[in-house]
Chain A
Amino acid sequence: MKSVGVSYQRVDAIKKVTGQATYVDDIIMPRMLYAQVKRSPYPHAKILKIDISKAQALPGVRSVITGDEYTKRCGLYLEDKNFLAVGTAKYRGEAVAAVAAETPEIADEAVSLIEVEYEELPAVLNALEGMKPDAPLIHPDLHTYKVAPIFHPKPHTNISHHYKLRKGDVDAAFAQCDVVTENSYYIPHVQHVPLEPHCAVAQYELDGKITVWGSIQSPYAVRQALSTAFDIPLNKLRVISPYVGGGFGAKAGTTLEGIIIPLAKRNPGRPVKLCYSREDEFENSYVRQGLHAKIKTGINKDGKIMAVKTEFVWDGGAYTEYGVNITKAGGWASAGPYDIPNVWTDSYCVYTNHPVGGPYRGFGMCEIHFAIEQNIDEVAEAIGMDPMDVRRINGLRVGGVTGTGEVMEVSGFHDCLEQVVKDIEYDKPAVDVSPTIKRGKGIAAGWKSPSQPTNAGSSAIIRMNEDGTYILMTSGQEIGQGSETALIQIAAETLDVDPDLISCRFGDTDHTPYEWQTVASRTTYCAGNAIKLACEDLKNKILDMAQIKLGAWKRDLEIKDGYVVHKIYPDRKVPLSEFALGLAFPDGSGVGGPAIGVGTFTLENNLNVDHETGMGSHPAAFWTIGFNGAEVEVDTETGRIKVLKMCSCFDAGKVINPLTYTCQAEGAMVQSLGTALFEELKLKDGKILNKSFVDYKIPTADDAPELIVKYVEHAEPTGPYGARGVGEPLMVPGAPAIANAVYDAIGVRFSRMPITPDDVLRALREKREREAT
């Protein structure tokens, strides 16, 4: 292959190093108005009265709105939210009113003049408490909400979804196992921290057209949600997403876009802009849900795991744009990438009065694997076996059966494991630097599938220009992951032309064709498949014309190196550009018209699971499996953990671009390092105590370890050129690999992350006390 599998330079690189790449906040339009938002100071409160009169009277204020503007709820899977609170405010920081003003300063002042009277309500500040029958209800009308049929809210509770998995007979298996262990873990809330905070601009024209520019991963999903909330026909609503300054899931759903639409409608012609501050970004975009996990494991002394019984309780926050689906995805994957005959899982999404949980790179997998992959090491120790041998024995092979009963057609599990064992030099124990500077090594696996509607669709258009260059149109969104480059490579490979001849356009619902969402590590796979089909369609149309032009049968013609070539008489060839506007004949007539290819893709035979058992023969589009290894150094006097080295090996099916693949793998490891060692949203009484970069640390250059990236390629049968999605899975095993390495270094198991210096010192003190008694 000429274009696929090649480290082609990122097509957006020059724009990005020169400051010419446009992000939403860079859109500065004439007569622009600036919005600002009034927020609730309580975790749960009834709104008694909102007095906007003083704000409205402030010179320079154009409009002030409250929840009165919002008569219809919306939501991706469960319609449970309004963009401004209606009746009650359900988390600290929830928007209750908004203003549009001539300057940001006037907007700020106007917000301070809005007076809101609240009556505080009892709050749910812990998901385990929130599940109890006597817990205060956050959504008393939950039973009346519109919900996608695959999700099952429990009426008159705070449970927005309960996913059940029932495979085999776990209790009978436990009774027969040599060893049964039970372990619990807690993973706190974290935030995505894209460097670009959310930003949106909306403009309304009197003919009813609304245009929204937003930092949005999924323009079509946002268009649908806004259309539902405001009864705007889709042909009158245009959503544009330029370059996105990092998504990681935070920009997958709708957030601030819905606040500015009523403001724009009241100010026809004038664009209204709302940008989140960093503080807003921590509190009011999305956060990664907290997770309480319990795993009971039955294992025999020969290393075979016979049964797992798992409970996941997700702290979903006040609304559940994606939470119900993360709960499902976590339940699906709860057995890990292992072939275990008996599996019982309950995965609950619970409303709490916490910031809104949303999708975060991994879609629940980073959280559950912190539990699953430490648990594997723990059960291995319980039977006195090396944890890699337990993984070798139980890891999914081709023909193996997943937790949900799906038979694996492809599996790179063992190849990836052996590569990471080699790269981290697992068989050579880590050598302590001194009696107080300890070193250790750890390895963890991870797996993930897209948790998308089984009929999620993608489409693409490829247009040939008059000179034989191409415009590729997709709504697979470039959010930093490199999709623009990879998708061009897929098109170039299919057309057999140089990638430099193709430009990509994305992110405009009026112009680029439908794409369900840029989430789920599905863009290369789903959009890539649609693009491959579009290019094949274009080739087919060109060959239809070529057989007339060349006076040859279509079956004897092929497209090669930018030409239509006769297979038997290769001297008979015509440049593709000659077909750009159709065929022209000497008498002046023509046929065919401009060359354009269209491709649409929905994965066939992708089936829902059974509601009662969670089982299904083919629920996942694909499973991406891989491993991380980590070597750490722990200073037992300061408690500080330094990650010295991390390595990654995943089965990518086919790597479209090895360079951008490696970049994503490196970034994923360091992002996981942040969650393992220092990232946590500190929540107290529903309030985030650390919503700034001073108090919420993400990794800096000083934290970056040595990074080794490898991959294997067992082709995905349904993927474009064998590719499967990788962007999110690459982050999944990082945190448990680090935790396992810390255990190897100091003999202490941490069931909660992040593992901070204080935690290390406390644990070592407790260990010394235990050993002394």
Chain B
Amino acid sequence: MKYRVNFFVNEEPVELYVDANKTMLRVLREELALTGTKEGCGAGECGACTVIVDGKPINACLVLAPELDGMHITTVEGLAKDGQLTNVQQAFVDLAALQCGFCTPGFIMSATALLQENPSPSRDEIVDAISGNLCRCTGYARIIEAIELAARKGGGQT
């Protein structure tokens, strides 16, 4: 059985008929071709699929598609506007806070949600906000510094 869902992705309205057993992650990637959101574990343990829903970072792999109805979702594709990277994205570029890049969209979404809620987080608050995001390449130090830099430059707003 398919469920009709109406929701917003990156401020665009979407109407879809979805299977009950599909996840938000698969809907975003396979039906909407928003492949910037990655699947690293499919179990809510790595944060590579982090998106922002109603201001909060969530793991898209843990949300079932029928729950999408009424949601406002921001994915990594929805951040840069008019060709301008957000402060968070630019800080990750400037400090080279990425290597293979697979976890990067998830970190950027977690950081963006943090700075939207708390524009001047402490280092501990940053570490806490990205504690659900795993990175194997960077050793994290630059990711933490990039979020600090983005906060200094005006936080989660573009």
Tell me the residues in window 1-60 of chain A with beta carbons closer than 8 Å to chain B beta carbons: 9-10, 12-23, 25-26, 28
Chain B residue with the shortest CB-CB distance to A478: B100
Q: Is A479 engaged at the interface, CB distance under 8 Å to the other chain?
A: yes
Across the interface, do A693 and B45 meet the contact criterion of CB distance under 8 Å? yes
Chain B residue with the shortest CB-CB distance to A247: B100
Across the interface, do B140 and A670 meet the contact criterion of CB distance under 8 Å? yes
Residues of chain B with a CB closer than 8 A to A222's CB: none
A19 touching B76 in the complex, CB below 8 Å, given contacts A663-B138, A693-B41, A704-B141: yes
A301–B126 alpha-carbon span in the complex (Å): 51
Most buried by A among B45, B48, B126: B45
Q: Closest CB of chain B to A475's CB: distance in Å?
A: 18
Q: Is A701 engaged at the interface, CB distance under 8 Å to the other chain?
A: yes
Tell me the residues in window 117-155 of chain B with beta carbons closer than 8 Å to chain A beta carbons: 126-127, 130-131, 133-144
Residues of chain B with a CB closer than 8 A to A667's CB: 99, 136-139
Q: Is A669 engaged at the interface, CB distance under 8 Å to the other chain?
A: yes
Across the interface, do A28 and B100 meet the contact criterion of CB distance under 8 Å? no
Q: Is B56 engaged at the interface, CB distance under 8 Å to the other chain?
A: no
Most buried by B among A194, A664, A699, A704: A704
Tell me the residues in window 240-299 of chain A with beta carbons closer than 8 Å to chain B beta carbons: 243-248, 277-278
Q: Is A589 engaged at the interface, CB distance under 8 Å to the other chain?
A: no
Residues of chain B with a CB closer than 8 A to A9's CB: 93-94, 96
A277 touching B42 in the complex, CB below 8 Å, given contacts A663-B99, A667-B138, A701-B144: yes
Residues of chain A with a CB closer than 8 A to B104's CB: 16-17
Residues of chain B with a CB closer than 8 A to A401's CB: none
- Mask, B79-118, CB within 8 Å of A = 1, is 1100001000110111010111111110010000000000
A195 touching B46 in the complex, CB below 8 Å, given contacts A28-B33, A693-B134, A702-B127: yes
Q: Closest CB of chain B to A271's CB: distance in Å?
A: 14
Tell me the residues in window 691-715 of chain A with beta carbons closer than 8 Å to chain B beta carbons: 692-694, 698-704, 706-707
Assign chain A's interface to a size class: 35 or more
Residues of chain A with a CB closer than 8 A to B30's CB: 28
Across the interface, do B40 and A17 meet the contact criterion of CB distance under 8 Å? no
- Mask, A178-201, CB within 8 Å of B = 1, is 000000000000001111110000
Select which of A19, A699, A706 is within 8 A of B36 by beta carbon: A19
Chain B residue with the shortest CB-CB distance to A21: B101
Across the interface, do A704 and B139 meet the contact criterion of CB distance under 8 Å? yes
Across the interface, do A245 and B100 meet the contact criterion of CB distance under 8 Å? yes
Residues of chain B with a CB closer than 8 A to A704's CB: 139-141, 144
Q: Is A659 engaged at the interface, CB distance under 8 Å to the other chain?
A: yes
Q: Is B29 engaged at the interface, CB distance under 8 Å to the other chain?
A: yes
Across the interface, do B35 and A16 meet the contact criterion of CB distance under 8 Å? no
Chain B residue with the shortest CB-CB distance to A693: B45
Q: Is A635 engaged at the interface, CB distance under 8 Å to the other chain?
A: no
Across the interface, do B85 and A16 meet the contact criterion of CB distance under 8 Å? no
Q: Provide the main secondary structure of the chain A interface.
A: loop
Across the interface, do A243 and B89 meet the contact criterion of CB distance under 8 Å? no
Q: Provide the main secondary structure of the chain B interface.
A: loop
Residues of chain A with a CB closer than 8 A to B102's CB: 23, 194-196, 245-246, 480
Q: Closest CB of chain B to A191's CB: distance in Å?
A: 10
Q: Is A666 engaged at the interface, CB distance under 8 Å to the other chain?
A: yes
Q: Is B21 engaged at the interface, CB distance under 8 Å to the other chain?
A: yes
A290–B85 alpha-carbon span in the complex (Å): 45
Select which of B108, B127, B138, B144 is within 8 A of A17 by beta carbon: B108
Across the interface, do B35 and A18 meet the contact criterion of CB distance under 8 Å? no
Across the interface, do A246 and B100 meet the contact criterion of CB distance under 8 Å? yes
Select which of A195, A197, A669, A700 is within 8 A of B100 by beta carbon: A195
A669 touching B139 in the complex, CB below 8 Å, given contacts A28-B29, A278-B43: yes
Q: Is A345 engaged at the interface, CB distance under 8 Å to the other chain?
A: no
A701–B148 alpha-carbon span in the complex (Å): 14
A248–B135 alpha-carbon span in the complex (Å): 13
Q: Closest CB of chain B to A645's CB: distance in Å?
A: 11
Q: Closest CB of chain A to B130's CB: distance in Å?
A: 5
Across the interface, do B99 and A480 meet the contact criterion of CB distance under 8 Å? yes
Q: Is B77 engaged at the interface, CB distance under 8 Å to the other chain?
A: yes
- Mask, A650-693, CB within 8 Å of B = 1, is 00000000011001101111110000000000000000000011
Residues of chain B with a CB closer than 8 A to A193's CB: 136
Q: Is A482 engaged at the interface, CB distance under 8 Å to the other chain?
A: yes
Residues of chain B with a CB closer than 8 A to A247's CB: 100
- Mask, B29-70, CB within 8 Å of A = 1, is 110011111111111011010000000000000000000000
A196–B99 alpha-carbon span in the complex (Å): 12
A667–B141 alpha-carbon span in the complex (Å): 9
A663–B135 alpha-carbon span in the complex (Å): 13
A246 touching B136 in the complex, CB below 8 Å, given contacts A12-B101, A701-B144, A704-B141: yes
Across the interface, do B100 and A663 meet the contact criterion of CB distance under 8 Å? no
A192–B102 alpha-carbon span in the complex (Å): 15
Chain B residue with the shortest CB-CB distance to A671: B136
Residues of chain A with a CB closer than 8 A to B38's CB: 23, 25, 195-196, 245
A700–B135 alpha-carbon span in the complex (Å): 7
Across the interface, do A698 and B40 meet the contact criterion of CB distance under 8 Å? no
Across the interface, do B137 and A18 meet the contact criterion of CB distance under 8 Å? no
Across the interface, do B85 and A700 meet the contact criterion of CB distance under 8 Å? no
Q: Closest CB of chain B to A734's CB: distance in Å?
A: 11
Q: Is A489 engaged at the interface, CB distance under 8 Å to the other chain?
A: no
Most buried by B among A16, A192, A197, A244: A16
A245 touching B93 in the complex, CB below 8 Å, given contacts A18-B76, A278-B43, A702-B127: no
Residues of chain A with a CB closer than 8 A to B143's CB: 701
A667–B129 alpha-carbon span in the complex (Å): 20
Across the interface, do A700 and B96 meet the contact criterion of CB distance under 8 Å? no
Across the interface, do B96 and A663 meet the contact criterion of CB distance under 8 Å? yes
Residues of chain B with a CB closer than 8 A to A637's CB: none
Residues of chain B with a CB closer than 8 A to A160's CB: none
Q: Is A481 engaged at the interface, CB distance under 8 Å to the other chain?
A: yes
Residues of chain A with a CB closer than 8 A to B45's CB: 278, 692-694
- Mask, A157-171, CB within 8 Å of B = 1, is 000000000000000
Residues of chain B with a CB closer than 8 A to A425's CB: none
Select which of A15, A663, A668 is within 8 A of B101 by beta carbon: A15
Residues of chain A with a CB closer than 8 A to B33's CB: 28
A379–B30 alpha-carbon span in the complex (Å): 59
Chain A residue with the shortest CB-CB distance to B80: A18
A526–B76 alpha-carbon span in the complex (Å): 36
A243 touching B101 in the complex, CB below 8 Å, given contacts A480-B137, A666-B138: yes
Q: Is A758 engaged at the interface, CB distance under 8 Å to the other chain?
A: no
Residues of chain A with a CB closer than 8 A to B35's CB: 19, 22, 25-26, 28
Residues of chain A with a CB closer than 8 A to B76's CB: 17-19
Residues of chain B with a CB closer than 8 A to A389's CB: none
Chain A residue with the shortest CB-CB distance to B108: A17
A481–B45 alpha-carbon span in the complex (Å): 24
Q: Closest CB of chain B to A285's CB: distance in Å?
A: 13
Chain B residue with the shortest CB-CB distance to A18: B80
Q: Closest CB of chain B to A15's CB: distance in Å?
A: 7
Across the interface, do A20 and B98 meet the contact criterion of CB distance under 8 Å? no
Across the interface, do A692 and B41 meet the contact criterion of CB distance under 8 Å? yes
Q: Is A105 engaged at the interface, CB distance under 8 Å to the other chain?
A: yes
Across the interface, do B134 and A700 meet the contact criterion of CB distance under 8 Å? yes
A669–B30 alpha-carbon span in the complex (Å): 37
Q: Closest CB of chain A to B93's CB: distance in Å?
A: 4
Residues of chain B with a CB closer than 8 A to A195's CB: 38, 40, 46, 48, 100, 102-103, 134-136
A19–B76 alpha-carbon span in the complex (Å): 6
Please list 7 pairs of residues, one from A and one from B, whose beta carbons are closer than 8 Å in the complex, sorted by A's number. Answer: A9-B93, A13-B98, A19-B34, A19-B77, A246-B99, A692-B45, A693-B41
Beyond A18-B77, A196-B38, 20 extra complex contacts between A and B, CB < 8 Å: A9-B93, A10-B93, A10-B96, A17-B85, A18-B79, A18-B89, A19-B75, A19-B77, A20-B36, A28-B30, A195-B46, A195-B135, A243-B101, A278-B45, A666-B138, A671-B139, A693-B43, A693-B134, A694-B45, A698-B134
